[in-house]
Amino acid sequence: MGFTAAQLQEAAGKQVDDLLGPGLRLLFVGINPGLWTAAADAHFARPGNRFFPALFRCGLTDHLINPSAGMSDADRAHLIERGIGITNLVRRASARAADLTRDELTDGGERIARLVAAHRPQVVAIAGITAYRTAYHRAGATAGEQEDLLAGAKLWVVPNPSGLNAHETLDSLAAAYGAVGRAAGLLPGQTS
């Protein structure tokens, strides 16, 4: 399924509900929904986005999830049963993350801290170093596990899975997502 240019434009400003459930252990935090994601009403839905292929490759899911036309109830349930949640720093959809303001990212960082305090995952993985640096005022931060906790959770910065992040490969994304999966106790060799 595809979307017309008009349908994608209509998705600007829409929000995608957080994917959260009981037993949350690992919360992935995207930057904000893209237009395709908002039109499909499913996180990381744009064809070519490597988020779900990377989750499958590292073993966090037992099958490849394809949300490009929307996420099935069975796939939502699978993620929740695995202890995986998904949200975004900024809730409004835009054509590009560069369309976001510094204030939106900072406000989003505060919202994520409140969400983490309420749902208490073991690990939070923010997908995007630049957005993390802006949202949390950490200009010198590098990818990987951070020294600071976020509302009691271990905090990691992982690569953004967008196809625009061309220097990352499916293998490097899977390695980073596997590391946070181990830290959250969802994969063998856990570090939590």
CB atoms within 10 A of CB 60: 24
Residue 126: give the domain boundaries.
5-183
- Which CATH number fits the domain that encloses residue 37? 3.40.470.10
Number of domains making up the chain: 1
Is there a domain that residue 131 lies in?
yes
Is there a domain that residue 76 lies in?
yes
Q: What is the pLDDT of residues 131-153, one digit of tens each?
A: 999 999 999 999 999 999 999 99
Q: Global pTM? A: 0.95
Amino acid (one-letter) located at 49: N
pLDDT at 192 exceeding the cut of 80: no
Per-residue burial over 67-76, b if 16 or more Cβ lie within 10 Å, else e, is: bbeebeeebb
Predicted pLDDT of residue 23: 95
Q: Phi and psi (nearest 5°) for 20?
A: -140, 150
pLDDT at 191 exceeding the cut of 70: no
Sequence-ordered list of residues with C-beta below 8 angstroms from that of 68, at least 6 positions apart, any chain: 1, 36, 40, 42, 45, 46, 47
Is there a domain that residue 191 lies in?
no
Is there a domain that residue 189 lies in?
no
Is there a domain that residue 190 lies in?
no
Dig out the tokens for 90 from the structure. Answer: 């900024």
Is there a domain that residue 66 lies in?
yes
pLDDT at 177 exceeding the cut of 90: yes
CA atoms of 8 and 11, how far apart (whole Å): 5
Is there a domain that residue 14 lies in?
yes
Q: What is the mean pLDDT of residues 42-63?
A: 96
Q: What is the pLDDT of residues 99-133, one digit of tens each?
A: 999 999 999 999 999 999 999 999 999 999 999 99
Is there a domain that residue 13 lies in?
yes
Give the helix ranges, DSSP H, for the chain.
5-10, 35-40, 51-58, 73-82, 102-119, 129-135, 170-183
pLDDT at 165 exceeding the cut of 90: no
